[in-house]
Amino acid sequence: MSRRYETFPEFYAFYLTQHTHPVCRLLHVIGVFASTATLITALASQAWVLAAIAPLIGYAFGWTGHFVFEGNKPASFRQPIFSFIGDLAMARDVVTGRIGVRATRDAR
């Protein structure tokens, strides 16, 4: 990713091209749910250490998808806010059936 995106819709179009491998996409969705569940558990039990590691859990899944299956560098290194929102949007889109976990690689 050589350019910085100014709007989220513009970024999200790029983001999806970086998440075409089905395992990478699935790992991102798992990471979003795992980190959210960890954060909810942390807040409910007031286990603040869990709250601190919740983002690490999500990123561990996502970055594994990039480095092992996708073969590219995560967008979170360059645009962390848009990347975080992109993770949430992609998880929403997969769960609602708007995009599938089994994406094609044609977007590249």
pLDDT digits (tens, 9 = 90+) for 16-65: 999 999 999 999 999 999 999 999 999 999 999 999 999 999 999 999 99
How would residue 75 be classed by pLDDT, with cut points 50, 70 and 90? Answer: confident
Q: How many domains does the chain have?
A: 1
Q: Which residues contact 75 (CB under 8 A, 6 or more apart)?
A: 1, 11, 14, 15, 18, 82, 83, 86
| Residue tagged 């990478």 (tokens) | 24
Quote the pLDDT of residue 77.
86
Quote the pLDDT of residue 46.
97
Instruction: Give a yes or no: residue 15 inside a domain.
Output: no
Instruction: Give a yes or no: residue 40 inside a domain.
Output: yes
Domain span at residue 94? 24-107
Instruction: Give a yes or no: residue 9 inside a domain.
Output: no
Instruction: Give a yes or no: residue 4 inside a domain.
Output: no
Pairwise CA distance, residues 64 & 51, whole Å: 21
Instruction: Give a yes or no: residue 3 inside a domain.
Output: no
- 6 secondary structure, DSSP code: S
